[in-house]
Amino acid sequence: MRRRLSAGTIAGVGIATASLTLLFIINSEPTSGVVFVTDAIVPLLFSALLVGASYWAWADRSADTAMVRLTLWCLAGGAIVGGFEFLTLYSQFEGGVLIQKELQTLNAGVARGSVIGLAFGFYDVERQRTRRRERQLERQVERLEEFASIVSHDLRSPLTVARGRMELLEATHDLDAEHVDQIEFAHERMTEIIEDSLALARGGHEVTDPEAVDLESAAETAWQTAGSDSARLVVDEGTVEADEDRVTRLLENLFRNSVEHGLSTDHDTDGESAAEEPELTITVGQLPGKSGFYVADDGVGIPAEDRESIFEAGETNGGSGSGLGLAIVRRIAQAHGWTVELTESEAGGARFEFRT
Could you tell me the CATH number of the domain that includes residue 275? 3.30.565.10
177, 235: one domain: no
33, 174: one domain: yes
255, 315: one domain: yes
> 202, 232, 254: which is the final residue of a domain?
202
86, 187: one domain: yes
pLDDT at 275: 47
Which one, of 218, 341, 212, lies nearest residue 287 by Cα? 341
Distance between first and last Cα of the chain: 49
pLDDT at 217: 92
> 176, 202, 228: which is the final residue of a domain?
202
230, 181: one domain: no
pLDDT at 272: 45
174, 217: one domain: no
Nearest-angstrom CA–CA distance, 253 and 356: 19
250, 166: one domain: no
Residue 17 domain boundaries = 1-202
| pLDDT tens for the chain, residues 1 to 356 | 677 777 777 777 777 777 777 777 677 665 556 656 666 677 778 778 787 777 777 777 667 777 777 788 878 888 887 777 777 776 666 555 556 667 777 777 788 878 888 888 888 888 888 888 888 877 877 777 777 777 666 777 777 888 888 888 888 888 787 887 888 877 776 777 677 666 666 655 677 788 999 999 999 988 988 888 888 899 988 889 988 888 888 898 899 888 887 775 554 444 444 445 668 899 999 998 888 999 999 888 888 887 777 777 655 555 555 567 788 888 888 888 899 999 888 888 899 999 98
For the CA atoms of 175, 178, 181, 187, the dihedral, rounded to the nearest 10 degrees, stands at -90
The answer to whether the pTM exceeds 0.95 is no
> 170, 202, 234: which is the final residue of a domain?
202
231, 120: one domain: no
State the amino acid at position 269 in one-letter form.
T
Nearest-angstrom CA–CA distance, 263 and 282: 11
